[in-house]
Structure 1
């Protein structure tokens, strides 16, 4: 039995995700997304695909990346 790091649910089918030194245990993909996915630097939504990286920040899409750059230049 594992314990989900996002919701605290005790579940017999948990799974772990590791990225570098970071590791977490989840009971569902929903909790994994909430707990592990990076957030868009513009709108804050979880980035589930490849995303767009610029100057060390990650964005969910080109629109958000362009919006952030335009906002910073005004």
Structure 2
């Protein structure tokens, strides 16, 4: 399996939208389906959770993060 994570930052109003895409999974390949389920759980249960916590911390000189959608 060869997967890749790409990210983009897009200006949106007074803020910035972060788009993360993890692709390279073949839905017809059983091992890819299992890997996708496991990695999806990690993205939602760990990575995005930590990213949200980090972005919500006050930062000197930067406006507060108003909303985070996952």
Please say whether Structure 1 and Structure 2 have the same fold, judged by a TM-score greater than 0.5. Answer: no
Of Structure 1 and Structure 2, the greater helix share is in 2
| Interval of TM-score (by shorter of Structure 1 and Structure 2) | under 0.3
TM-score (norm 2): 0.28
